[in-house]
Structure 1
Amino acid sequence: MLEIDGLTVAYGGNTALKDVSLSVERGTIACLLGSNGAGKSTLMNTIAGLQTPGRGRIMVDGTDVAQWTPRRRVRHGVALVPEGRQLFGDLTIEENIRLGGYTRRGRFDDELRDIYRMFPRLAERRRQLCKSLSGGEQQMVAISRALMAKPRLLLLDEPSLGLAPVLIRDVMQLVRDINAQGITVFLVEQNAHLALRISDHAFVLEKGRIVKSAAARDLMQDKELTAAYLGTA
């Protein structure tokens, strides 16, 4: 579903990504691990079209989208849930969710019903302003907004950031549920333990370079990686 080849991104006089190459198989969950400042969000934003690469290819379902606009990538099946959620606080839950369908035509009634079945709490409060929601509820809205675009590739940038531990586990289960619908998921996640447990494959990014790529279960046994990213938890 996703193949990146020789991707280099620079801005502000710094090279954020250096010759990054990786691939994510269709129908799987892959996670990207790395310390703060490693370039993880830059990679996600570049895949989504929010950052322009200096060189390299971004193949989505066999098509190079590296020079496409974000809008065209959404139409091609790529949706991003950005770090920090980036919702419109003065709009309601439903208004924010409907914005995810901006590249499509129609009333989206069927899609909304599906989303509200997945998130009954949002259905109950759909007329409430987003700025009044908890962090966990806002994350549900952000994911719902992305799902309205009917993506084949869902990019999730730090979905558990700022959430209580019990909610983090709920989000990880939600990622599994979304993947079970046939959506390929590429995930950046600070909770490396849980990310590896739900992922099929994992990559480690250090200073803008991919330094490890392996099955997630194998990386969980990697003592060097455990010491660097997983601690003793």
Structure 2
Amino acid sequence: MTNNTHTIDSAPAGLLAGKVVLITGASRGIGAAAARLFASEGAAVVLAARGTAALDSVVQEIRADGGVADAVALDLSDRASIRTAVDRVERLHGRLDGAFNNGGVVQQQVGPLDTTTDKDIEEQFAVNFLAHWTAMNAEAALMRRTGGGAIVNTSSIGSRRANRALPAYGAMKRALNSITETAAVTWAADGIRVNGITPGGTRTEMMREWEATSPGIIEANSAATPLGRMAEPREVAEAAAWLLSDRASMVTGAIVPVDGGAGA
């Protein structure tokens, strides 16, 4: 009798095996969850954020589990800092295969359009739009020199519809969707895929901070989600991991909801 049983001597390669991936906003929330997940899927990750102490903690955790991780300080309101972070990736690894542009800031003044201040608009433009613009161009320049890659931008469910509570935030995230789509078309010939994700309510530190200033927002968010709960940060990171992987080789210019049906 022929024995058709095959023995697998090693674990299957991870979703991001052999890739170098930069993650902004990696010190907490979705970014930190992404760093852990991408490393577990085989990527060499470079974590970027202002909170370097928190970054170092995540880096040490990843290294303790056998992963490859480094940290770089990055201030999303400083365009030179963003370019320096991408240059650091090149010095560390010589290339960049994937970038998860996840860093951002929620509008501090919650309220209607006519109470939104010039400062709100300026901060949202600097961090939630211009920072992504700068990062994408720097990342694409490096990817173009090293054979292509994939970029994922974190937008928001707030970009998909009128946003009475956070009008400046929603406006800049909608603008981010637009440049994501434009970048996908522009850089396709360079072998660079560009996609976005629009998370709904997610159990992050940022959401807990919003709850502190607007009690009841978590309960209301869960009630408005058909799946009946908010996402865990890792669930959002899983969508980004797939988009960055070769499994999504024909996906570019997509803005993918990760919101439990709340935007349907």
Q: Is the radius of gyration larger for structure 1 or structure 2? A: 2
Q: TM-score scaled by structure 1?
A: 0.38
More strand by share: 1
More helix by share: 2
